[in-house]
């Protein structure tokens, strides 16, 4: 009868590797900690340089959605003309859709769509320069308010409508008709500006 002798496995024989459970736990914990540290640093980097009103802080801009480079110019034009900044912003939207290079079939140019003769009186600089155009818009609106004041509008809202109509159809037409001329284009122009001022540009304000 033969006897089978079991020999111990050699130290270098291939065996399934068994890692202590504690080692796996520490590896997982270290990974989670590194992930948290990295996320915290990313959040800090994205928020530390933001001041009030900066994108992502939840503080709305007082001139949004006016294109950012021209927000303060719109407020200045509103102050000069005595009209609400929402109206001034909405008018520029209707006039040119904020395109500084816009040219109408009639020859009106720039952001505020000035005709050459009107620009020669109220413009300073280049009608295609947005800041020059908005400044001229403020001067022209101020003068139009003075012109239509002779019609003695009953309310501030009526005065605004007369000024807008004069910008579109010319002050002579407004004075001749004693109010908004019966032109479909002019009436639609005033209505569209009013709608945008009450919706899209309702948040534009001169508040601090």
| CATH number of the domain to which 187 belongs | 1.10.530.10
Is residue 165 in a domain?
Answer: yes
Other CB atoms closer than 10 Å to residue 127's CB: what's the count?
24
Compute CA 32 distance to the chain's CA centroid, rounded to the nearest angstrom. Answer: 40
114 has which bridge partners?
Answer: 109
Counting every residue written for the chain, the total comes to 208
The enclosing H or E element of 140 equals helix 130-148
103 has which bridge partners?
Answer: 109
Is residue 92 in a domain?
Answer: yes
Is residue 206 in a domain?
Answer: no
pLDDT at 62: 86
Is residue 145 in a domain?
Answer: yes
Is residue 40 in a domain?
Answer: no
pTM greater than the 0.75 cutoff: no
Is residue 79 in a domain?
Answer: yes
pLDDT at 34: 46
Say how far apart CA 14 and CA 178 lie, in whole Å: 104
pLDDT at 167: 98
Other CB atoms closer than 10 Å to residue 57's CB: what's the count?
11
pLDDT by 10s per residue, the chain, length 208: 444 444 433 333 333 333 344 445 544 554 544 444 454 443 333 433 333 344 444 446 789 999 999 999 999 999 999 999 999 999 999 999 999 999 999 999 999 999 999 999 999 999 999 999 999 999 999 999 999 999 999 999 999 999 999 999 999 999 999 999 999 999 999 999 999 999 999 999 987 6
By the 8 A CB rule, do 189 and 94 touch?
yes
Q: Which of 8, 189, 58, 148 is nearest to 156 (CA)?
A: 148
Is residue 36 in a domain?
Answer: no
Q: Which residue has the tokens 């800041």?
A: 131
Active site residues: 95
Is residue 182 in a domain?
Answer: yes
Q: How many structural domains are present in the chain?
A: 1
By the 8 A CB rule, do 140 and 120 touch?
no
Give the domain range for residue 128. 70-199
């Amino acid at each position: 009868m033969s006897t089978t002798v079991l020999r111990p496995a050699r130290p270098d024989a291939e065996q399934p590797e068994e890692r202590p459970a504690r080692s796996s736990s520490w590896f997982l914990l270290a990974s989670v900690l590194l992930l948290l540290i990295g996320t915290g640093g990313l959040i800090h980097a994205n928020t530390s340089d933001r001041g009030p009103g900066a994108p992502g802080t939840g503080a709305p801009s007082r001139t949004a959605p006016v294109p950012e480079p021209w927000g303060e110019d719109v407020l200045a034009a509103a102050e000069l003309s005595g009209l609400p900044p929402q109206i001034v912003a909405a008018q520029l939207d209707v006039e040119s859709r904020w395109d500084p290079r816009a040219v109408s079939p009639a020859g009106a140019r720039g952001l505020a769509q000035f005709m050459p003769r009107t620009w020669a009186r109220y413009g300073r600089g280049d009608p295609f320069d947005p800041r020059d155009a908005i400044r001229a818009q403020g001067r022209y609106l101020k003068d139009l308010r003075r012109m239509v004041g002779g019609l003695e509008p009953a309310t501030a809202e009526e005065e605004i409508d007369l000024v807008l109509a004069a910008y579109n159809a010319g002050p002579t037409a407004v004075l001749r008709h004693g109010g908004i001329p019966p032109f479909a284009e002019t009436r639609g122009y005033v209505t569209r500006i009013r709608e945008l001022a009450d919706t899209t540009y309702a948040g534009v304000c001169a508040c601090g």
